[in-house]
Structure 1
Amino acid sequence: MPQSATAAETRVIAPNFKRRLSGVTSTIVQLVPEQNRQGQHVAVIGPGLPAHLPHLRWLDLLKLWQKPAGGGKRIWHARRNNEMLFGLLLRDVLRMPIRLLFTSAAQRHHSRYTRWLIAKMDAVVATSERSGSYLKVPHEVVSHGVDLALFHPPEGLSDTMAGTGLPGKYLIGCSGRIRHQKGTDLFVRAMIELLPRYPDWTAIVTGRVTADHKPFAASLEADIKAAGLEDRIRILGEVDDIKPWYRRLTLYVAPSRNEGFGLTPLEAMASNTAVVASDAGAYAGMIVPGQTGEIAPAGDYETLRDAIARYLADPALAEAHGEAALADVRARFDLKGEAAALGAIYETLERN
């Protein structure tokens, strides 16, 4: 059973109006426990969230006319259009005493409808300077962080290549929903071209294949089979726990053509793994080229392939950049910093 929360104790509500796992959902799952460790009294509502998070029931929304314990106004922290719209219903139609906050990760021009919703918010947060550049309203930039207790360097044999049962000495991986947008085909294409030259490396692909992308995944499997590399390029699909797989990697690749923010490079870097990524989403701000990884223009296969090849040819370089990546994430992208920055925004909203 989900952990229940009371409306009286809740000061911030984090809605999740999408059943399938997404980057937004992953952010909520990681962030809410840290926020509550910092005393922010955040509860979630909606499907698709794990039971360990404090949940409000839909009927509990009827209690939002009452002020929370200690007074002030609650905050409805939306991250999607439908969540903003629902917040407007609560605040402007039902006249509940709440403040509306929206976090925008999108790095594209918003539709007229989205701009209208955003303009109705009491405060807006952008997850990067780049996403903020598409906003037409005042906002603050609060970068996502990673939970350094959950994502950490290898600790034992099961966290190494030897613990996987796969062939080779070094592991390279790509994670995320398997689809064209995520650039999974670019990664597989690079592996088919490069792995015959680097026999010590094995590649894995992890992530969900939804029904409408099964033909895409099947085409990748066919390409791998045609190249005779079924043993060295494994499409594992959705795994129960991605964290140990990050720790087993020597190199992580994030080849997205389009991204909102994108947490996977940070999760890999926190696991002591170097990263080659496209410049989609906020990736370019996460990686220090030549020190913690490399960046390639989104959709540019040749540049991506050549950046990967540099590490396949020199595993010691990948390991050194993995160490640097870990230090950089700890300095710049600790989840505690994200939670504290949001807490300060909440306090301002509650006062004003």
Structure 2
Amino acid sequence: MHPDERGLWPDGIEAVAPSFKRRFSGVVATVIGVVPAQAKHVAIRALGPLPASVPQITWRDFRLGSWRRPRGRRWRIWHARRDTEMIFGMLLRDVLRQPWKLVFTSAAQKRHGPFLRFLISQMDRIIATSPQAASYLDRPATVVVHGVDTERYHPAPDRALAWKATGLPGRYGIGVFGRVRHQKGQDLFVEAMAELLPRHPDWTAVVIGLSTPTEQPFLAALKARIASAGLTDRILILGEQPIAKMPEWFRCLSIGVIPARWEGFGLVPIEAMASGTPVVAARSGAAPDLVKEGETGHLVPVDDQAALTAAIARLMALDEQAREGVGRAARAHVLAEFSIEREAQKINAVYEDIWRGD
């Protein structure tokens, strides 16, 4: 439905969440998940190439209405999550003198470079996705931990049937998600599978994620290692998958592996756990705060091949009923601590604080 038909734009929309990147990423996943939840309580719309399930405004309507103040408020909120979006927000506020307040969410668990620090200094309010991320900022931030849409990410009624529906071999699936590059640790996953799959003939491994031209040498090395292990039919590199299909992949797997050497936050652990899938995660990003060791899966040191392989082996060695029990605990943990509704409520509270300060 056109925004004007809802009577929202230009006077009714209170906040805009830009998402300028076309490729699927953690930031895109965040916008897809949280904006619909926020929209239940504030008049927020996303701006950018996103699925139809996300409440959105077109660029045409944005241009026509961005000069107007929202009904009953002095400012609209521009909620950026990338440097380009911060720059665009500054153009709206400082160059065009439009009525915007700028919010930025920082997930990085490292000190930002000089230019990004400058951009952050120009924001009206900062949100950090974890206490660790907040500690690297030069100014106070409100900590709002990411959540996941537990209706979109949910367990399969029958995991074995869900795996069979993929058409892939084996009885059980184990997988790693994320852009295929050294940072994400797919090489560690492949090495673990080279050791473990010969002992577990019912299992098939999948690697899902985008591989850009600059990362082709890393991808080629993965394929060479798989071939040398004689496992080309059991370790499958599936490439980037449609955004709409990602929840199906999470719930058909019996184990999710997150071996990243570095992460800003990392949504994959809670997306997997919400899907009732036990996880093995490296202690990077927010994983130590998301995964309950021995209850929802296992945590291992970063870049520790032996520890990663051993933790995966423990979950693979469980019988199906015991492994599903871990998955149920994982789902319950996410429902209690990391729902998208909780994240949306806390972000909206930041907006309300800005509006109260008019």
TM-score, normalisation: structure 2: 0.92
Question: Residue 255 of structure 2 corresponds to which residue in structure 1?
Answer: 251
Question: In terms of mean alpha carbon deviation, does 53-62 or 308-317 score higher?
Answer: 53-62
- What code does the residue aligned with 1:50 have? P
8 Å Cα contact 1:171-1:204 kept in structure 2: yes
Instruction: Provide the secondary structure at the position in 1 that maps to 2:148.
Output: coil
Q: Percent identity?
A: 48
Question: Residue 9 of structure 1 corresponds to which residue in structure 2?
Answer: 12
Question: Residue 142 of structure 2 corresponds to which residue in structure 1?
Answer: 140
CA distance in 2, matches of 1:303, 1:156: 30
Instruction: From 318, 321, 330, give the equivalent of 2:326.
Output: 321
CA distance in 2, matches of 1:124, 1:280: 22
Instruction: From 153, 162, 165, give the equivalent of 2:164.
Output: 162
Count of residue pairs the alignment pairs up? 350
The superposition leaves residues 51-105 of structure 1 with CA deviations (integer Å, 9 ceiling, x where unpaired) of 4431241563463332112333100101112211222222222222211111000
Change (3 A) 1:199 1:158: closer
- What code does the residue aligned with 1:133 have? S
Question: In terms of mean alpha carbon deviation, does 213-222 or 268-277 score higher?
Answer: 213-222
TM-score, normalisation: structure 1: 0.93
Question: In terms of mean alpha carbon deviation, does 121-130 or 223-232 score higher?
Answer: 223-232
Question: Residue 105 of structure 1 corresponds to which residue in structure 2?
Answer: 107
Instruction: Provide the secondary structure at the position in 2 that maps to 1:168.
Output: coil
CA distance in 2, matches of 1:22, 1:175: 11
Question: Residue 351 of structure 2 corresponds to which residue in structure 1?
Answer: 346
Deviation, structure 1 residue 205: 1.1
Instruction: Provide the secondary structure at the position in 1 that maps to 2:221.
Output: helix
Instruction: Provide the secondary structure at the position in 2 that maps to 1:124.
Output: strand
The superposition leaves residues 224-273 of structure 1 with CA deviations (integer Å, 9 ceiling, x where unpaired) of 12211122211111223121121111110011111111111111101111
Change (3 A) 1:311 1:168: same
CA distance in 1, matches of 2:120, 2:161: 43
- Name segments (4+ residues, structure 1) moved above 4 Å: 1-5, 156-159
Is residue 94 of structure 1 aligned with residue 96 of structure 2? yes
Deviation, structure 1 residue 3: 7.1
Is residue 266 of structure 1 aligned with residue 267 of structure 2? no
Instruction: Provide the secondary structure at the position in 2 that maps to 1:9.
Output: coil
CA distance in 2, matches of 1:335, 1:205: 26
The superposition leaves residues 167-217 of structure 1 with CA deviations (integer Å, 9 ceiling, x where unpaired) of 333211111111111111110111011111222322111112222222322
Question: Residue 49 of structure 1 corresponds to which residue in structure 2?
Answer: 50
CA-based RMSD of the aligned residues comes to 2.0
Question: Residue 153 of structure 1 corresponds to which residue in structure 2?
Answer: 155
CA distance in 1, matches of 2:295, 2:200: 22
Deviation, structure 1 residue 159: 5.1
Change (3 A) 1:150 1:52: closer
Instruction: From 26, 33, 51, give the equivalent of 1:30.
Output: 33
CA distance in 2, matches of 1:12, 1:242: 28
Question: Residue 20 of structure 1 corresponds to which residue in structure 2?
Answer: 23
Question: Residue 337 of structure 1 corresponds to which residue in structure 2?
Answer: 342
CA distance in 2, matches of 1:94, 1:60: 14
Task: Show structure 1 runs of 5+ residues with no match.
Answer: none
Question: Residue 284 of structure 1 corresponds to which residue in structure 2?
Answer: 288
Change (3 A) 1:159 1:91: farther
Question: Residue 294 of structure 1 corresponds to which residue in structure 2?
Answer: 298
Instruction: Provide the secondary structure at the position in 2 that maps to 1:203.
Output: strand
- What code does the residue aligned with 1:225 have? A
- What code does the residue aligned with 2:32 have? V
Change (3 A) 1:315 1:181: farther
